Amino acid sequence: MPDPTLRSLLERVRAGETDIESALRELRGLPFEDLGFAKVDHHRALRRGFPEVVFCQGKTAAQVAGIMQSLAARAPVVLATRATPEQHAAVQAALPAAVYHETARIIQIGQPAPAPEAHGTVLVVTAGTADIPVADEAMVTLEAAGARGERLFDVGVAGIHRLLGHRDRLDAARAIIVVAGMEGALASVVGGLVDKPVIAVPTSVGYGASFEGLAALLAMLNACASGVVVVNIDNGFGAGYFAAMLTRM
């Protein structure tokens, strides 16, 4: 996704609507903007294909709102992850179009157009209902990046027939995100059934000996199936971002 702000600036220069000195003044603000409490990276979309994403944990509501205002002035789509309702209220007061995805805990500003270079659909699969918040974080992220996603929830290994009843959807996907807590076995099972990348997301769901997702993380890292990559515990955002990149390859 090229930076529309920079593209628009270059087109205005080419059309003679902006002189070089004015363009240079605008370019000075593109590398980053210093807000005092944060240095907002406006070149992220040029380097990575998607604007900087705000991680809200540890930030005040006012800080989140300030960063989001800075990003929204230059990017068509802006995300803030691990956001609270209070942080969303502060953002919405400054930017009324801000939407709060409550289950995913993501604030979103703007709607992406489907990326023309994106191929296929990413299937987001959960072992259980308790894994849905992390799965929704992945779904909102990949769709904000212009990729297409579908959900397949509550098909864990305790009732494997629930998963096998959807073999057609597994086979049709471009990539599969598997979100699971407890012992994290679902990622290896899915990896053994399909011929496409599987992105495993361990969650902190489980009883005491799951050690807040560590058991699932280690199980996924030691998966028998080939083609399974693993992100950090509860990192639905990282999985969704990576899956969106895969669809553009």
Tell whether 101 and 159 lie within a shared domain. Answer: no
Residue the block writes with tokens 């899956």: 243
| Percent of residues, the chain, with pLDDT higher than 70 | 93
**Position 217 in a domain:** yes
Picking from 129, 176, 171, the residue whose alpha carbon sits closest to that of residue 150 is: 176
Contact 6, 13 (CB under 8 A): no
Q: Which amino acid is at 105?
A: R
71-93 tens-digit pLDDT: 998 888 999 999 999 999 999 99
pLDDT of residue 115: 66
As a whole number of angstroms, the distance between CA 51 and CA 48 comes to 8
Rounded to two decimals, the pTM is 0.85
Q: The domain containing residue 67 runs over which residues?
A: 4-109
Task: Give mean pLDDT, residues 116-137.
Answer: 92
Phi, psi of 3 (to 5 degrees): -70, 115
Tell whether 154 and 243 lie within a shared domain. Answer: yes
How many distinct structural domains can be found in the chain? 2
The residue out of 62, 84, 109 marking a domain boundary is 109
| Band (19; pLDDT cuts 50, 70, 90) | confident
pLDDT of residue 34: 76
Cβ-based neighbours of 100, under 8 Å, separated by 6 or more: 83, 85, 88, 92, 106, 107, 108
Tell whether 243 and 134 lie within a shared domain. Answer: yes
**Position 116 in a domain:** no
